[in-house]
Every structure is written in C-alpha cells, then in structure tokens.
Structure 1
Amino acid sequence: MYFSLSSLIFLPLLLQSFITSVSATYWNNTKKFDLTITWENYAPDGFSRKMLLVNGQSPGPVLEINQDDLVVVKVHNQSPEELTIHYHGTPWTDGVPGVTQHPIKPGCSFTYKFHATQYGSFWYHSHHRGQIEDGLYGAIIIHPRPHEPNPFHLISDDKETLREIAKATKHVKPVVISDFVHLTSTEKWDMTVAAGIEDSCYDSILFNGKGRVECLPKDVVEANLNEIQKSYLDCLPASALNAIAGGLGNEEALLPGTFSGCKETEGQIEVIRVSNKHHSSSKWVAFDIVAAVNFVNGVFSIDGHDVWVYAMDGSYIQPQKVQAIAATNGDRYSILVKIEKSGEFKMRFNSNSAPQIITGHAILSVEGFGYAQEVEPWINLVGIPVSKDVVVFNQMVAFPYPPVSISPTADVTFNLSMEIRGASYLWALNSTGLMSKDLDEQRPTLFNPQPYVHNNVTISTKLGQWVDLVFVAAMFPQPPHPIHKHGSKMYMLGTGTGPFRWSSVEEAAKEIPDQFNLINPPRRDAFLSAPADKEPSWVVVRYHAADPGPWLLHCHINNHMVGGMMMVIQDGVDAWPEVPEEYAEGGDGE
C-alpha cells in the first residue's frame, strides 16, 4: 500500500456477521477503538481450543472508518503472550516486532495512531510469531471520500443502476475467509521443529469466523481429481514434504491425526441475508472478500451469480465481470453482486493448492425475488471451473483506476533468491533465513537503522528511488509463495521461467517484451510468486521508495514466515524519519 508518512492502514482480524462494527459517519474526524486481547477457549468450527480473542471474539470487531479520519486504536494485552498488531502505514505504527516496535507485554497497552489517507478493504492481524493462527485478526473498511473517482460507470451507464451500486458500496459487507487448525500456534510450531517437517494440513475453512470440519467421501474426492492428485486424496503426506528437504525430518515426532484422519464437527455456517423489501426487479450488494488464510490458497465463487470485481487490495481497478476469483494469503477483493432471484446460494472457497483438498462455504440467503431457484456451482471440489464458459478473475489485466503512471526505469534493482534452507519448514527470501524468534527479540530497526548494511536479509534505498525487486525461485520444485510488502504498494511488471539472466528489467523487456507491462501494471501489496516445477521461475515488481522507514518483506504463509522467509527494507536511509516522542523507544503511543 502507498501512504504518506502521516498515513496508516490496517491489515487485521477476521469477522462474523454478528461481529461488533463501529461505523464512521463524518470525514476528518477522530475515531477511537479499544481492542482487548485475551487467551480463552473458543470453537469457531465446533472444536474448542485456546485462542487469542479480540473483545471476546474471533475475528475481532470490524473497524469501519472514513478516508481522512484520524484513527486511534488502543490495544490492551490481557493475554499471557507478547504480541503486536500490524497496520499498514507509518513506520512507528506498522506493528512489526523487531522492525517498528518492541512487543506489547502481557498486562500492558499500546496505542496505534494514523491518518486513513487510503480507502478500501484492509485487515489487521498479529505479527508476532504464529499468533495469526490463534485468531488474532479482523477486517477494516475505509469508505472513500464522496468524490473519489470510481470505476462504476464502466459497469453500467444506467443512472438508476449507478445509484443502486453507490448504495451497495456504501454498505459493503466484509466476508473474511480463513483456514483453521485445531492445534495452537505454539503446539504446531513445536511439533514442526521436533519433526523437521512443515505442517501443511488444516481442519476447516471459516467464513466470518464460522465453519465446520467436513470429511469428504473418497468417491467424491476421486471424482474431482486427476490421476496424480488421486494418489494424495485428502492431504499431501508428510513423507512428500520431508522429501522436498532431502528426507531429513523425523515423521515419528508428528502428532497423531496431523496429516491423516478426519472427524466432522457441528460448527455454525455463516448466513448472509439479503431481502428485497421494496420489491425491485433487482438489487445490488457489495462484499469485501478478505483472504485471511495462513496456508490454503483457494477459489471463491457464489453459486449462480456473476460478480463484478471493482477493487483489489484496497484500490479501484477497471472492473471485471467473473464467476470465480483465485485468492491467496492477504488478498482483498471488493465485489458487486446483482441479486435477481430468491433462494439459498453457497459462497464457496475451495482449495486449489497441492498440499490439501479442503472446502468451506457460507450461505447467501435471498428473499423477495419470487420463487426460490436452484443453481449449479461454478467450480468443482478443487476450484476448477466446471465449464469453459466460467470466467476466472485475471490479475494481469486488473489495471488501476484511474490509470497510474510509474517510472519507465528503476534506479536500483535487487535480485532475491527464494529457497529452502534445510528442513521443509525453513525458508529464505534471499538465500539466508531471518527467523521470526530472532527478529522479534532484536532492537527495532526504526530505532537502530543500519544504512547500506550488506547482507541477505536487509535492503537499503534512498528516498524517492524507484526500486525493482526480482524474486527468483532458485531451487525447484518449489511452490508459489504469497509475498507481502509492508509500506508502499508494488506494481506487477512481469514473470517468466528459467533464470533471470539480465542486469535490469529494461534489458529483459527488450528481449522478451511480451512478458512485461511497463505501461499500466497491476498494483498490489501482496502477490503470488510463480511456481517452479522443473526449472527456476521469476517475478519482477517495482515500487516507489516514497515513505522513509523500515518495512518488512515476507512470505505470508505463516509457516514460512516464522521459518525465516522474510527480510527488512530500509527505505530512505538518507532521510530517516524522526520518531514522534510518544513512539520513541520504550513509548506506548500515549
């Protein structure tokens, strides 16, 4: 995301239909929130375990504000664990231990403040170890200024339709999707370290904090798989993950039921109700789809309904009319749905990632449009369209709206070599891992910058430079990684296979111009790297180092991040920001 130094935009907790939501009515106001974090028993899918709750719930309250508001969030840590909460924006409130602050100790509080200069769909979450898997996350809605340019006229030129769309987006509803595991993050990590094998299997998919364990019959599973997938069925076996790292792990250290077995639960299913009280022929509703998943990539769809994707990662795009959206860790998609029929329609999220076959759903319940109608799904069990007529959202043509100009050249280029470093849970973003436990305990970079330090886990730039990051999947086979950059957003320039053998993007674009977009590239704060099956692969992004300070760059798969797949960007080392007194080292924001 791109913000000025006085800005900050959240990335946090999940959400439920009954979740507390605080709405902002006027712009340029101060909005205050209190979030109390506790460690309690909770059963989002019908299975009870200890979780980090926010004001007694997970996901936490929806933070609903307006663009240009001053936002003040006071976090009270009443849990037994140290923690931080990550928001996007100014460096002293970005919420990353070892980078922008010291962790909030049990019994203590910390106040985050920022101006919401951006608009759109965001979320907040813990950035301490694996706590996001314990339920510490939630949704943020930032309503745009009344006259912010929007792309809705590209959907329809009918005035009544545009009024309906404006009304729908004003009352946008978050739909937060997450994967849930029955182990606490500490139990999971301790097992992973003891076994030397990454735990890639989850128990359920939650919509707005609700769901259930669904045990799929073998015949149903097999009917949706190709011959290679059939050999795995429900979950990629531990032996396969162990083999990726050279067979160094100890499978006997895995807890029973981690990679096999299934016991159904009776958790609640989220129901989103739409009523046609005014008996119109059609109605528009808007949803913010927040992929608060930790590991499971999947495909989202609503049975029998087309959706218009009008924003991606909190920024407007040229709208796309689709029936399915592939989503990965941290993605946000704002969608419009035209309602013209009654009935109960499944909102699906079906895994399309290799390690596990897992599905979840919510119900879109519509009343007042005549007789209920039955419809067929757009996607199958593993997220594949059921016919060639099903259109899947295409990120590569998700052009920013209004158009955004970027520099045609970069001032500096960094080549990053993504690879596994020993056991299957140990990863490096650039040849050398930076373990979460080591980063969390170090003196924050904000107070201890190291300009131009030369190592594999730190990047330094000057203020105003345009920076190219070349992510190379150096070892193969290697899965795709959802890479998230804190601070300013990235522009997706190009991707390809084989080694990146050029000294710059400009040189590469001259040789293979069809693989680059330097005119109107998609803009994101997270992206999925290219898989490397039989040879290396690469992805190139460009960003503007306009906000001086320390920013984290990491894989958003929680296992990989905690296992070392991250690094620190020091933007604007020649103009390092002066930290406000209340955020000076040892301060709590007050």
Structure 2
Amino acid sequence: MFDGLFGAMYIRYLFNHYFAFSEHALTLTRPKPTAPAPWSLISNNPKDIENMKRAVANPHVVVVSDWTRFKSWEYMKAQEDSGYTIFILINGKGSVYCQGEDFLVNHTMDYMKWAIYPRHVNDKGCLPFVRSTENKYLRDGHPETIPLHLQQGCVPSEGEQAVFEVDPADEWVSFNFVDAATFKTPVFAIDEHEMWVYEADGHFIEPQKVDTVKFYAGERYSVMVKLHKNDARDYTIRVMDTGLTQIIGSYATLRYKRNPNDKSVHEAKESKGILNYGGLNTTHVVTLDRDNLPPYPPNAPAAHADALYLLDTHRVKTAWTYTMKGGAMYQEDRSAYAPLLYYPDSADAMDESLVIRTKNNTWIDLVVQVGSLPNQPQEFPHIMHKHSGKTWQIGAGEGHWNYSSVEEAMKAEPTKFNLKTPNYRDTFITSFDGPSWIVLRYHSNNPGPWLMHCHFEIHLGGGMAIAFMDGVDAWPKVPPEYAPGKGGFLD
C-alpha cells in the first residue's frame, strides 16, 4: 500500500478535547533517488537539477498552526452558549499583534466590507454578528455569552519568530508548508522570492511558478525557491489569513548566511512584501492555480467506476453541527469502544447513514454536494479529507447533482469533468458559491476502516464525518496480540 509514497504526511489527533491543544505531527518521507521527479520542468540546467535534488532531500518544514488560550471544551462550549484568543504560529512560534481597529478595517477585503456594512471588524480582526454572515442563526445566537478575549478584546504578546537560515552557495532551497490550523485559511509568500510549487499533499505535481499560495487546513505544499540574493540579509516570510473569518497574520524570516570571505558591509533594510496584513496582494501577483495541479508523472484514474455514493452535506439544527450524508452526524467517539476494525459486522458497521462499505479492488465515485437545502444556498468551504491514500477529483459543477452516474453527468456537462489529468491528492475543497458539487474517484485497494471528514476541526467536532469500510470482502485479520485489551502482547 505504502510502497512508492513519499512527501509530507500530516497527522492530527481528531478527538475534540485535543484539537485546540495543537496535537499534531508531521512525518516526512523522502522520495527514492530513482523516482521520477519534475526538476527538469523547472530548469534544464544540470547544475540546477543537482542542487534541487539536494534541496528536496534536506527541506525546511514550515508548520502553520493557530493557538487559543481556551481549552477545546471551553471553545466548543462558547460555540454552544453563544451560537458562535486565536493567533497564528509558524513552527510553534509567533506573537499576538494588536493592530487597532482602524488598521484592521483598512486591511479588510472589499467583499467583506460590503457584506458586514455598516459594521466592521473589531480589535481582534473578527467579523461582527450580522445577518449577512450569520444567516438565520443570528436570531437564536447569544454572542454576549462568548468569553472575553475569544472573539474580541485583543491582548498583545511578543514571542519568538521562526528563522530559516539558507546558504546562497546551495542555490536552491525547498520549503514544505503545512496548514495545521483548526480552521484558518492563510496565504503565504516570501518577500522578493518567487516559488516553484512542486508537490501537493505529498505527491509530485507539474511545477507552477507563483508568488503566493493559499492553503486550507490539512493541506501541504512543497515549494522550490531560487537563492538569487547574495547580501546576507533577512527576507520576511508572510503568512496571512485570507480574511473570511478574521484579519490576522504571522511572520517568519528567511535569513541568508553571510559568506565568511565577504568583508563588505550590507545595508540592513526591510524586505519588500507583496502581501499586506489582510492577506491582500499589494501589486500584481501570480497565485497558485489549485484547480490545475496535474500529478507528475501523469497518473490517470480508471475510465469507469463500479459504484457511486452521494454525500449530501449541510448544517443540521445549529450553525456548528454538520452532516456528511443526509442528516446523520458522526460523533467523534462513535467507534472508540467498538472499533470497526475489530467488529466489521456490528450494528454500527451496518449503519448506512454513517458507514460506506466497498469491495476490494473496485473503483468508487463520491459526489460531495453542498448548498443543497433551500435555506442554506451557501456554505463556508469544506476541506474534504479521506484517510488511506490519494484520490482523484474528476469533476466539479454548480447546482444540484441530478445524475445516476458520472457517465450520465459527463454527457450532459462534458466541460465539468477531467479524467486525463485530474488533481491527485488527499484534500479537496468544496465551493463557497451557491449549490455545487465535486466528484472524487478512488481505488478501493487497502482493506480496512478509514475516516472521511471535513478538516475544519469545528465542522468535524460538529459531526461532519463518515466511515469507509474499504474491502469488506478482504477484511484484514487482526493479529491476536493486537486484539482488544491485549495492548500488543500475547498471554
């Protein structure tokens, strides 16, 4: 199953009592030296290619996370009580910036200014409670119950800043960016440096040369950067929220190592950025085209699937509870006491509202529908993540899915599908605008129980998950020492 896999793998504890404690980790697997790599698509210079190989073997890891002074159960209780102190860390380091309301208002995107007018963001950069953002849930909400400093009341603090030292003699450096935030959607850029994005979710892609990259919770992007400076200066790495929930940001430093033979005095001046504190570009930029990330080398799915499942997602009753399939909510400890691996024929394992059972060595289509209810035409984007391996996104469209198969949909809307060079990864984003759908295709070839969920921890905590029992006809046998209660030991 794992032969040939490489890249960054993000690991997170999914029980809600721990999500706000930043219980996450990252594993980094280097590709085999013989694995096909896309370096010649970045440069055809043999020296560049050798330097890029060395860079990818020794990357800098940049983990972006958010932090709150509130424990996860306090955070969830605040949501329940209200109907509704986050800051962003880079490799566990950062500061709380209290910029003032005027500054934050001036860095709010026009779209959000219009949406919340005549109100504006507060001193923490958080949006006000208005009909346009809260919809029908504003009526029954109680924002007055939100604890001070959670949504407003900024308290500044100064912490360390992550520093990444590079040697210009290496000529190229690789950065692995990981969004380990609970629900932030930041954009990142490196002052005065372009980036070649060469890997998405731990898999090579056809490289894209960009200035900025926007990424969602759980996503991983690896970038190659040309070290074209030789002035022993610092250059700011900017990681800014894109402003859909809050005006907030953080910084790190790209530091050029001084040549010991260089006796000249370099001017210490601030690097020139292209992102402001609101995540808005200050000049023309090229940003990552996330809908066009063909895998490298080419890797297409099967032309036809054996089964199709419709995941009709929407809110259920409250603003923070969600369903992945028609109203059923997956409690986070649902399988904790009777794991599906051990009890594949239990009543829980047969619950079709929360479990999808597939046969081994079959191809499965998943249609994720959002905005399906008349009173919920728009939803915040969901980050669909399925455990156990990569998946192809073969289609996306607007409106309601009214087809019995992908073949039928392709005949009606051929431009909405791509079976030749679709994205191949393990995180997929649904649309923000109106009713819409995406189609995912995967190969069920790794028997076992796997979770599919929204990577926004608040949505997952509200029930937005479903279990897959892949390969029920080839279910793995559990070694006796790993039976329930054995702890890896035989009697």
Q: 2:386 aligns with which of 481, 485, 488?
A: 485
Aligned length: 466
Matches within 5 A, 1:200-211: 203-211=86-94
Query: Comparing 575-584 with 166-175, which one deviates more in the overlay?
Result: 575-584
Matches within 5 A, 1:154-233: 154-195=41-82, 197-198=83-84, 203-230=86-113, 231-233=119-121
Deviation at 1:494, TM superposition (A): 1.8
Q: Normalised by the size of structure 1, how large is the TM-score? A: 0.75
CA distance in 1, matches of 2:319, 2:88: 24
CA distance in 1, matches of 2:146, 2:102: 28
Q: 1:391 aligns with which of 279, 282, 286?
A: 286
Structure 2 partner of 1:546: 445
Deviation at 1:553, TM superposition (A): 0.6
Q: Normalised by the size of structure 2, how large is the TM-score? A: 0.90
Q: Which AA in structure 1 matches 2:327?
A: T
Structure 2 partner of 1:22: none
Secondary structure of 1:395's aligned partner: coil
Q: 1:585 aligns with which of 475, 484, 490?
A: 484
Native 8 Å contact 1:470 1:538 kept in 2: yes
CA distance in 1, matches of 2:334, 2:243: 29
- Provide, for residues 154-185 of structure 1, a one-character-per-residue CA deviation record: whole Å limited to 9, x for no partner: 11111111111111111111110011111011
Q: Measured at CA, do residues 145 and 589 of structure 1 come closer, stay the same or move farther in structure 2, by a change above 3 Å?
A: farther
CA distance in 2, matches of 1:563, 1:262: 27
Deviation at 1:353, TM superposition (A): 4.4
- Provide, for residues 252-296 of structure 1, a one-character-per-residue CA deviation record: whole Å limited to 9, x for no partner: 3321232212111011111111234xxx4x711111111101111
Query: Comparing 319-328 with 376-385, which one deviates more in the overlay?
Result: 376-385
Deviation at 1:367, TM superposition (A): 3.2
Q: Is 1:305 aligned to residue 188 of structure 2? A: no
Q: Measured at CA, do residues 531 and 576 of structure 1 come closer, stay the same or move farther in structure 2, by a change above 3 Å?
A: same
Structure 1: tracts of 5 or more residues without a match: 8-67, 69-116
Q: Measured at CA, do residues 307 and 508 of structure 1 come closer, stay the same or move farther in structure 2, by a change above 3 Å?
A: same
Q: Which AA in structure 2 matches 1:553?
A: M
Q: Which AA in structure 2 matches 1:503?
A: S
Deviation at 1:457, TM superposition (A): 1.4
Greater share of residues in strand: 1
Matches within 5 A, 1:562-577: 562-577=461-476
Query: Comparing 161-170 with 223-232, which one deviates more in the overlay?
Result: 223-232
Q: Which AA in structure 2 matches 1:351?
A: D
- Provide, for residues 470-526 of structure 1, a one-character-per-residue CA deviation record: whole Å limited to 9, x for no partner: 111123221101111001211011212111122222221222222211111111111
Q: 1:467 aligns with which of 357, 364, 368?
A: 364
Structure 1 partner of 2:149: 257
Q: Is 1:235 aligned to residue 126 of structure 2? A: yes
- Provide, for residues 362-408 of structure 1, a one-character-per-residue CA deviation record: whole Å limited to 9, x for no partner: 111113378456542222333233333x1111122211111113111
Secondary structure of 1:206's aligned partner: strand
Q: Which AA in structure 2 matches 1:158?
A: N
Structure 1 partner of 2:429: 528
Q: Which AA in structure 2 matches 1:483?
A: M
Structure 2 partner of 1:53: none
Deviation at 1:422, TM superposition (A): 1.2
CA distance in 2, matches of 1:228, 1:144: 42
Secondary structure of 1:186's aligned partner: helix
Q: Which AA in structure 1 matches 2:437?
A: W
Structure 1 partner of 2:164: 272
Secondary structure of 1:446's aligned partner: coil
Structure 1 partner of 2:116: none
CA distance in 2, matches of 1:246, 1:383: 27
Structure 2 partner of 1:317: 205
Q: Measured at CA, do residues 348 and 531 of structure 1 come closer, stay the same or move farther in structure 2, by a change above 3 Å?
A: same
Deviation at 1:450, TM superposition (A): 4.0
Secondary structure of 1:492's aligned partner: strand
Structure 2: tracts of 5 or more residues without a match: 114-118
Runs of 4+ in 1 over 6 A off after TM superposition: none
Native 8 Å contact 2:66 2:181 kept in 1: yes
Structure 2 partner of 1:515: 416
Deviation at 1:220, TM superposition (A): 2.8
CA distance in 1, matches of 2:160, 2:140: 40
CA distance in 2, matches of 1:470, 1:450: 26
Structure 2 partner of 1:382: 278
Native 8 Å contact 1:433 1:566 kept in 2: no
